[in-house]
A = this chain, B = another copy of it.
């Protein structure tokens, strides 16, 4: 944990304990520097982080103050999963649940994507048009797997700028992150093998395990800091685990962010056991803190981490440009990619490349993060206001997803049905596990609905949860 993260955590604990009450003024930067013996920039970063989380607010020329939520919902529980390997069969329920979300007339809180209106689509289309005009005909056939050389070099440069050493040779361009993750899973396993996943886990991960006939061991995952390493270690000792598939940054669905030192410990633990990590890092650019959290890949010394990401959630939805930085498995991933889909669409590759080279990508990202952070604050306030006591909710430091634990006895699937009848979609918790741990959970996407829809949709959802909670209380 960085110094500013520690300072922010300490302040958060003071607020949680009531020592700092709503309306209280925080120490000035000068005071904090002298009291804590840290630099001014550490204090600024800590305050900025707390502000992005909606805990404090800046008042012009007065300093920072603790905001006054009506009530601050506690974090959801992290149920202890059975530590057994299970086969996976979720496809049908996932498709059934997701079918409704494609409907255009609903408030899309069940979507897996942020709103495409948050992306520079016209600028990107111009980049694509310009790049395709300049393209030599022969280049259309050159960019087969592992992908456009210059795009791969730019990806390697972005890793380097974030302090992660990745060679251009290691990067294979894929059809979105999903293909990258599937290819990595294939090279690391054979049908029947056991894979460690998070609990709750992204349903796309569960579907991939099902497809490849793999068994899952679900590892307890804290909604704030991710996979519990002691549970993982225990599982590694008990099961012949062939690979892990984790999301250390802004996990789907919890939004958990694994602290830096925990990531390092994770990579070391897996290196001791010789187990590869498939790192799904699709949301890393969507951080609300001061800087991009590093991937676990940053601590990989043995080429055991296969880092997978894409531009689908941060720049170019629908373009299907993802990649794997696959360490020692790079040539095998390339081989499998050649055999399965040969190559990635050149128009998409050169559009993204042209945008990276000639447009203000980092400026776009700053705007995107600010928009998502603001929507998160709105969504959390609306949940505080409208949902009944007993509701628990995450406050992720990035991404666009909230993981909500409903009061006892309220069923996520039932809430989904009632909500759909009111033209609101959401994702029920039972899609995120092979076990029945998460039936009273839902995942809410605050990044896709229009800002004007958020408050009303959450008010309606809150009312439905009140009704379901009353019914559950009445019958219980």
Contacts and interface: CB of A to CB of B under 8 A. Distances in A.
Contacts of A117: 137
Chain A: interface secondary structure?
helix
Contacts of A348: 345, 347-348
A320 B343 contact: yes
B128 A341 contact: no
Interface string A332-376: 000110111111111110010000000000000000000000000
A111 B346 CA distance: 18
Interface string A134-177: 01011111111000000000000000000000000000001110
A138 B116 contact: yes
A122 interface: yes
Given A175-B341, A339-B211, A342-B178, A318 B121 contact: no
Given A116-B137, A121-B137, A339-B91, A345 B320 contact: yes
Contacts of A102: 142, 144
Q: How many copies of the polypeptide does the oligomer hold?
A: 2
A104 B138 contact: yes
Interface string A192-215: 000000000000000110110000
Interface residues of A, number: 56
Nearest to A121: B137
A83 to B, nearest CB: 26
Q: Taking each of A137, A138, A141, which has the highest tally of chain B beta carbons within 10 Å of its own beta carbon?
A: A141
A113 interface: yes
Interface of A: 91, 95, 102, 104, 111, 113, 115-117, 119, 121-122, 125, 128-129, 132-133, 135, 137-144, 174-176, 178-179, 182, 191, 207-208, 210-211, 317-321, 335-336, 338-348, 351
